[in-house]
Structure 1
Amino acid sequence: MARDNFNVLDITRIIGGILFFNALLSYWFTSSTTWGYHGKYIDWRYWHNKILEPELHLSLTELSSYTGNDNGQILLAINGSVYDVSSNRAVYGPKGSYHGLVGKDAARVFVTGCFMNPDEYTYDLRGLDEKECERDIRGWQRFFETHRDYWYVGRVNLTFDFSNEDPPSPCEHMKFPGHS
């Protein structure tokens, strides 16, 4: 007896077959099953974070444990917004050139570009031009949100009570390439 309608299993088989042959053709032409794409949309951690994990709300102490030293997740924050940069261990991991940015909110260094001054690795923006801070911070947040390998994962709770501390010592601004 012939069946007149499809069921879920038939549809699953058809979609699975199409995906399989697409991956096979992709591998044949590009040596990659994804037509050469290597971004966040094929990273299982991105989808796990978007679908299964709620938005993170971390304290600065909790954020400090996400440095990749234990081969775990690598997070950095800019003015309270937290981004997963785990996909680029060569840059942000323990031996990476930008490892000093992870596990903390280092908004100030994103504005000044002063990597050599340890006082810059803070979210304390006192003493900096307000318009410059807003422009630069938004620019870097947009960079991490739209990057093919990085994504937004949540917020870090920042306290802005710096009354017992002096502002960071000034440094000569050294902007990143492409940022004014």
Structure 2
Amino acid sequence: MGDSETRRRGPKVTSSTAKLAGHVDEQPEDTDSRVISLLDVLRLLLTLVFASCLLSYYLTSGASFTFNYNPWFLNASKLSTWWSGPLLLTPAQLALYNGTDPSKPIYLAINSTIFDVTAGKHTYGPGGSYEVFAGRDATRAYVTGCFLEDRTGDLRGAEWIYIPVEDDPDEDISSGTRKLRAEKERRDAKKKVLAEVAKWEEFYRNHKKYFEVGKLVDVPEYVAEAPKLCEPAEKGRPKRKNMNAKKDKRDKKDAPGKPVQ
């Protein structure tokens, strides 16, 4: 009788047991009150992002919400290029991307590297000041400055733009020395050509709006005679200093003056 009654009534609850139970029940409530929920974190982050966008809009006079930061993965064209890999175009295929077809991007090549310049369509598109570069490799023109005459990637002979005009026939110099000087000037001039081309490549590669998309392939070999410098480039060649004239000037300066009477 006593056992069955005890089972019906349940275990005896003492005062210490009740205090422990009360402590256990209250503990989760205290913990919850001190924990920041994920929703609070998201609210804080969104607030900071919104404040940053407003500050950027104010500091850039309404030009950008991201302090003019434009990551490549937010550019659809760059993202597409990254996803599909570099383009390999022949000169004939590159010519199709000259801006005349609005559905196609605008490409140009320098030193066989193709760049997307669609962002500058007002400059490289039809009617633009540099439309002659669109759809082709006109590396030579970047060196000589002759946009219409030198729309080619053939750099043969382009180094003459840095070589002084032909020697003074009356210059007091041996033929051997003259030959060595000419060889050195030719080597140095070729280095300057390559440096100029590399400078323009870096210009497009590091531009905020233009970017590399691929390479030009199957370019025919230049078998004809090397092109001559265009007239403006020929006129712009440096003039060799007349060493004899400088020597005569020094001799006159060092000559003794007229004796005093």
Q: Which residue, out of 93, 96, 106, partners 1:74?
A: 106
Runs (4+) of structure 1 exceeding 4 A deviation are 4-7, 9-17, 38-43
- Corresponding letter in the other structure for 1:173: A
For 1:88, the equivalent position in structure 2 comes to: 120
Residue 34 of structure 1 pairs with residue 65 of structure 2 = yes
1:154-173 map, 5 Å: 154-163=214-223, 165-171=224-230, 172-173=232-233
Aligned length: 170
Q: How far off its partner does 1:85 sit?
A: 1.0
Q: How far off its partner does 1:45 sit?
A: 3.4
- Corresponding letter in the other structure for 2:212: Y
Residue 113 of structure 1 pairs with residue 113 of structure 2 = no
Q: Which residue, out of 192, 211, 217, partners 1:132?
A: 192
SS at match of 1:77: strand
Change (3 A) 1:42 1:89: farther
1:67, 1:10 → 2: CA distance?
52
Q: How far off its partner does 1:97 sit?
A: 0.6
Q: How far off its partner does 1:35 sit?
A: 5.3
Taking structure 1 as the reference length, what is the TM-score of the superposition?
A: 0.76
1:11, 1:57 → 2: CA distance?
47
Alignment RMSD: 3.1
1:43, 1:113 → 2: CA distance?
35
SS at match of 1:155: strand
Listed one character per residue, the Cα deviations across residues 57-98 of structure 1 (whole Å, up to 9, x for unaligned) are 111111111112222311110011111111111211112010
For structure 2, list consecutive stretches of 5 or more residues without a partner in the other structure.
1-27, 160-189, 235-261
For structure 1, list consecutive stretches of 5 or more residues without a partner in the other structure.
175-180
Is the CA contact (8 Å cut-off) linking 1:80 and 1:158 kept in structure 2? no
Greater share of residues in helix: 2
Change (3 A) 1:161 1:149: same
1:37-48 map, 5 Å: 37=68, 41=72, 44-45=75-76, 47-48=78-79
Relative contact order (C-alpha < 8 Å, sep 6+): which is higher? 1
Taking structure 2 as the reference length, what is the TM-score of the superposition?
A: 0.55
1:39, 1:52 → 2: CA distance?
18
2:58, 2:191 → 1: CA distance?
51
Change (3 A) 1:99 1:10: farther
For 1:151, the equivalent position in structure 2 comes to: 211
